[in-house]
Structure 1
Amino acid sequence: MSELWEVDPAGEREARLVSGSAPGDFAPVFTADGSLLFFSERGPHEPQGAALWALSEHGEAERIAHHPGGMTALTAASHASTLAWTAALLRTFSLNCTNL
């Protein structure tokens, strides 16, 4: 399991867990405005596959994008409000070729 923590580089505040889910959070990025985005599978009441979440400075994580095949990689522009991510477009199928 992976977790995201806020750590004060000056050492004046205790580190705090800023998100958390049983499957884990991954691929954190900061946007040009300082928002923290990350992928997570949050739980049984959310659609399957990792979704894109945003974490406000003092609030809860909010799902902002989801793709049915899940999302796997993320990048954010450093000086613009632009994001790019990768996601599976088709479901994976298994084919038994022994009877062909």
Structure 2
Amino acid sequence: MSQPSTELFLSRTTLRQIEIMHALDHHGSMSKAAKALGMSVANVSRVSKRFETNLNVQLFEGDGRRRVLRKEARDILGLFKALHNTIEDLRPRIERLRIEA
């Protein structure tokens, strides 16, 4: 990915997208990820497609009903898993600051 497209991807990526991609990687299916996140499968699918478009990389394969993560995409999502974990570590710290303020 060239520098301009990387910047474009990062500017379009939300924390919610990272959370959803992490759930897809962790649960292995759209329906399980949707259930864990309290979302519809359609919304999870829509977000994952937008994420792929922004990244300009095909992460999933299959038809519209059954999309599975490509083996080659696991390492990319592994990096997002680390980012997701960092974000999760921030949550209690932010809450402590809110309480103290």
* Structure having the larger proportion of residues in strand: 1
Instruction: Give me the TM-score of the superposition, normalised by structure 2.
Output: 0.27
Q: Which has the higher contact order (CA 8 A, sep 6+)?
A: 2
* Structure having the larger proportion of residues in helix: 2
Structure label with greater radius of gyration = 1
Instruction: Give me the TM-score of the superposition, normalised by structure 1.
Output: 0.27
